[in-house]
Structure 1
Amino acid sequence: MALETTRFDIQDHLKTQSEQTAYLEAALAEDDPSFIAIALGDIARARGVTKFAEEAGISRETIYKTFRAGGNPRLQTLAAATKVLGLRLTLVPA
């Protein structure tokens, strides 16, 4: 009997703000800027890139370019993206 599998799509698990926040927190815990960029890109796609870009005041192209593997978002772009999520960047002891 063949094993039946289904394709995993992160978009299926980023429907609510709490799911999106938990995903971003997990990415931040990895301490890898690429993980953070990818997570923000996934969240932007889950919310709709056009809408996310408008709310953040950044272009769709910026989202696609910076919020991907190897992307390097500027602090201003990160702050704008997290503000859309109802979050803000803070520092805590390591």
Structure 2
Amino acid sequence: MSNTAHHDEMPILDLDLSNTKPFEASRFLDSPETIAAFLAEAMKANDAQVLMHAMGEVAKARGVNQFAQDAGVNRESLYKTLKGGDKTRFATVQKLMLALGVELTVRPLDKHLA
């Protein structure tokens, strides 16, 4: 008899997740390298909303007031920008990236992705 279980035979766990909290990446974004890696992963989604959400997490990690000041915008404007997604101008994204101390770079796609 084999000790390997088939997926049909595996029990379904009935987990109560009502008391769990959503993962907050901002708690772990504690260095420029980590921030850069986090934003690079968000960029891979090719979705402006994902990038803006990631920038929001970085803003929380850095302190929203400080981030807004570094970017040269007021706090309310920063919040609107981070909620903007597809409507956010490239110049604004670039300004926010520079305020975070990171830059957008270009590299060729892997051949199997092109």
Give the alignment's TM-score, normalised by structure 2.
Answer: 0.68
* Deviation sequence 1:71-90 (CA, Å, 0-9, x none): 63211211111112222223
Aligned to 2:108: 93
Structure 1 equivalent of residue 12 of structure 2: none
Question: What's the counterpart of residue 45 of structure 1?
Answer: 60
Please give the residue correspondences for 1:12-31 in structure 2 after superposition, counting only pairs within 5 Å.
12-31=27-46
- For the 8 Å contact 1:65–1:71, the answer to whether it is kept is no
Distance 1:71 1:87 in 2: 21
Is 1:64 matched up with 2:72? no
Q: For residue 42 of structure 2, what is the amino acid of its counterpart? A: A
Unaligned 5+ segments in structure 1 are none
1:75 counterpart = 2:90:
yes
Pair member with larger Rg: 2
Contact kept? 1:50, 1:60, Cα under 8 Å: yes
Q: Indicate if the aligned counterparts of 1:27 and 1:35 stay in contact, CA closer than 8 A.
A: yes
Q: Which has the higher contact order (CA 8 A, sep 6+)?
A: 1
**Deviation, structure 1 residue 68:** 3.1
Cα distance, 1:26–1:69 mapped onto 2, change above 3 Å: farther
CA RMSD of aligned residues (A): 2.2
> Alignment identity in percent?
34
Residue number among 25, 36, 49 corresponding to 2:51 in the alignment: 36
Query: Which residue identity is paired with 1:16?
Result: S
Count of residue correspondences: 93
